[in-house]
Structure 1
Amino acid sequence: MTIRQLVAAAAVALGLQVGAVQAQTLVVCSEASPDFLNPQFTGQNTAFDVAAQIYDRLVATERGGSQIIPSLAESWTISDDGLAYTFKLRTGVTWHASKAFTPTRAFNADDVVFSFQRMFDENHPYHKVGGSNYQFFNEIVRPSLKAIEKVDDQTVRLVLSRPYAPLLSALSVEPMSILSAEYADAMMKAKTAEQVNLAPIGTGPFSLLAYQKDATIRFRAVPDHWTKTVGNRDRMALVNDLIFVITPDASVRYAKVKSGECQIARYPNPGDLPAMRADPNLTLLSGSIADQSFLAFNQQKKPFDDKRVREALVYATNIPAIVEAVYQGTGKQAAAIIPPSLWSHDEDLKPRPYDPEKAKALLKEAGLPDGFKTTLWAIPVVRAYMPNGRRAAEMIQADWARIGVQAEIQSYEWGEYLKRGRAGDHEVGMFGYTWDYPDPSQILLSGWHCDGVKSGANRARWCNKEFSDLLTKANTITDQAERTKMFRRMQEIWQDDVAGLFFANAQAFTPVTKNVKDYKIHFFGGQPFVGVSLTK
């Protein structure tokens, strides 16, 4: 089915004429299918993008910015000792309905308690439904959470075991979405509990209509969404229908946005940017993002447990050439674990230079004078932090061959790639992250803390006690100057121990057709499509 046919189908479903509804249907060419429809189980933006339409959280990040704003919680107070966060919940918020479920009540404190307890309590009946790897919650929220309390129907309290400076920011991210307790109870009684994960019911601005893996995701605007009562146009669904068309090839996404088959194309090829700028029918939006793009050396596998080997591979990789060929002016070589767009970035750290002779000497010192064989995973989808994983892998493969390291390039479908990466199947893997909330600790906690080794989020399986202890301590204090000193030291430790190999800090670009109004690139969490309209 073509995109125009999809739009026509949406019109028929609404009982409207095709011509009348086309201006009210926003089509987005996205890069990959979500690995989960329940965002509690994932840390990937492909899933966050879907969840951002369906679900709400207690708090949110302003669209296109970094300010934390009210959402399902209309206000909150924090105790003087920083150990109790009390949220006053919004009234009159309705749940979506489906063929299998019709809600009988509005959102209330029971839903918040259910959503947290499911992740927090290993004995909760829903804890293991669909899996129990609540990655974001376990790494970011659980370590400081003591209890979730219902004060009354419209008030909940989070009690902490220790102060946690980034908590409010963390609560804005899609894995902290609020799910319906009533829906869960109904599905459990019907012995179809898994439906809570597979057929999501939320309070978000769009409800899910249909999902065909690797093809399309269709959403419909919720006509009585609570934001309309509040009167915040920036957070309202302003189109009737929203369609994600899964289009893995960036060149095809570009062709579709040029032809008007979609109005927004995510993650363009850097090489296409000049043509996009010159196209009178397109607007090319851009902005700096907080990101990491790196090679993870799996330190649970030899010889990558040897720092000399890791350092040799860093010296052997011509990163400036990769940045020039792959990023094509959209990225700058990275050295620090915290990107320049976030506070506490250490601008004094410099990347190791390209030096094949030094690399050979380090391999010889490590007892590998003739090199070795390994596998090198190439990321299979275009991301803002890695525009062309295959091309980058081919260049790395050629660089390493010059020092005797034979790397076989491997890749998988995106969901399988993520699954195998969490399991630690890789020897050397290409991975990346974007910050989901504006605090430096997030990706450090999920991607590089010792606790992440067990969960699989720490792709390098790198565990440095000083680094992890500093990170844990930094999140118990609120003094930003003191936290900055700690984050600076962490960046030094990471670079000295060669925890991984960084590529570049990137700029994000999105081409949109001229009839798209008020689209904003969102840099933290999933991309919302509220506040966006289409002119005729």
Structure 2
Amino acid sequence: MQQLVFDIVPNNARRMAKLLTHECDVIAYPRLAELALVSERPDVKVQESTSMNVGFWAFNTQRPPFNQVKVRQALALAINQRAILQAVYFNQATAARSVLPPTSWAFNQQLATPEYNPQAAKALLAEAGLASGFNMTIWAMPVQRLYNPNALKMAELIQADLAQIGVNATIVSYEWNTFRRKLTEGEHDSVLIGWAADNADPDNFFRPLLSCAALESGSNRAQWCDPVFDRILNQALLTDDQLQRRSFYLAAQQYLQTEMPLVALAHSQRIQAINSQIEGVTINPYGGIALFSARRVQP
């Protein structure tokens, strides 16, 4: 390679246009809605990899009625996860059963598949004393991320689902820095956001998202601090026996599915599109584009 030029193009459509007109050779994060069209072109290669991320819907468990487990369970039952995967991820994601991706060595295969059951959701709300429903906010992040490429669209789908069980949801969004600050201050009822890990250790998913320490640092969007859950995580770090560690993480996932401080929605695919004349470019499930072996092959 004799020359490498980085062209910063924030606009999705312009990035794709530059690839298709051969003004650039590699783009990250092509729009999922355009993948089918791009994949049919002989001059473009599409690379995919299972990414270590999770998109989720977190409840502010320090605010009523989200401090009630039955309410959180009801909201989880009320949403159509399959419709979200189709409309937001264009089926370029795996339905989540845990914050851990299914490729993780600690993933709990025994977890129940997420159920869409509005009637059961209504029954749980009635048991929680909310048979008439309630009002709430869904905060949708204003930026596009791999784990959630369109939070506003997702919020609209969830809003419609919640209306079917008598819950009136208002969608809220702010400029990104303001959004993050207000989240840290706990002003939200619920939020659509996610997490991208920089290593595959299960602790890198559980601790930053749901531990009591993460509540102090500001990354615990569920505002959830549970001593039982923290104890499980700490026990998992006290041994280097992977089988024993796995048993603790299996228990942690089962506990989360019962307590439901958040609803794990999807693990998105990492995708990049490349000019077919470029070889040696690999895709990294943790992010970035490896270019050290890149070369152009003349047709």
* Aligned: 1:275 with 2:254: no
* Structure 1 contact 267–382 (Cα < 8 Å) conserved: no
298-307 vs 381-390, which moves further: 381-390
* Rg larger for: 1
* Aligned: 1:403 with 2:165: yes
Pairwise CA distance, 1:529: 4.7
Matches within 5 A, 1:273-352: 273-352=35-114
C-alpha separation in 1, matches of 2:289 and 2:46: 18
TM-score if structure 2 supplies the norm length? 0.92
Pairwise CA distance, 1:528: 4.9
Pairwise CA distance, 1:383: 2.3
* Structure 2 contact 9–15 (Cα < 8 Å) conserved: no
| Superposed CA RMSD | 2.0
Other-structure match for 2:3:
24
User: How many residue pairs were aligned?
Assistant: 297
C-alpha separation in 2, matches of 1:462 and 1:503: 18
C-alpha separation in 1, matches of 2:65 and 2:24: 47
C-alpha separation in 1, matches of 2:128 and 2:219: 28
Matches within 5 A, 1:174-189: none
* Aligned: 1:436 with 2:222: no
C-alpha separation in 2, matches of 1:369 and 1:513: 56
Other-structure match for 1:527:
288
* Aligned: 1:245 with 2:9: yes
Other-structure match for 1:184:
none
371-380 vs 441-450, which moves further: 371-380
- Paired amino acid for 1:245: V
Other-structure match for 1:418:
180
Q: 1:450 aligns with which of 195, 202, 212?
A: 212
Does the C-alpha gap of structure 1 residues 413 and 263 become closer, same or farther in structure 2, counting only changes over 3 Å? Answer: farther
Relative contact order (C-alpha < 8 Å, sep 6+): which is higher?
2
Report % sequence identity.
Answer: 33
* Structure 1 contact 293–504 (Cα < 8 Å) conserved: yes
464-473 vs 406-415, which moves further: 406-415
* Aligned: 1:355 with 2:129: no
Matches within 5 A, 1:421-500: 421-500=183-262
C-alpha separation in 1, matches of 2:56 and 2:8: 28
Does the C-alpha gap of structure 1 residues 534 and 420 become closer, same or farther in structure 2, counting only changes over 3 Å? Answer: farther
Pairwise CA distance, 1:314: 0.8
Unpaired runs of 5+ residues, structure 2, are none
C-alpha separation in 2, matches of 1:409 and 1:323: 19
TM-score if structure 1 supplies the norm length? 0.53
Does the C-alpha gap of structure 1 residues 532 and 377 become closer, same or farther in structure 2, counting only changes over 3 Å? Answer: farther
SS at match of 1:507: strand
Moved over 4 A (4+): none
Pairwise CA distance, 1:515: 4.2
* Structure 1 contact 264–510 (Cα < 8 Å) conserved: yes
* Aligned: 1:263 with 2:25: yes
Pairwise CA distance, 1:434: 1.7
Residue-by-residue CA offset, 1:385-421 (whole Å, 9 max, x unaligned): 2232222111101000111111111223334333332
* Structure 1 contact 24–533 (Cα < 8 Å) conserved: no
Pairwise CA distance, 1:356: 1.0
Other-structure match for 2:128:
366
Q: 1:375 aligns with which of 137, 144, 149?
A: 137
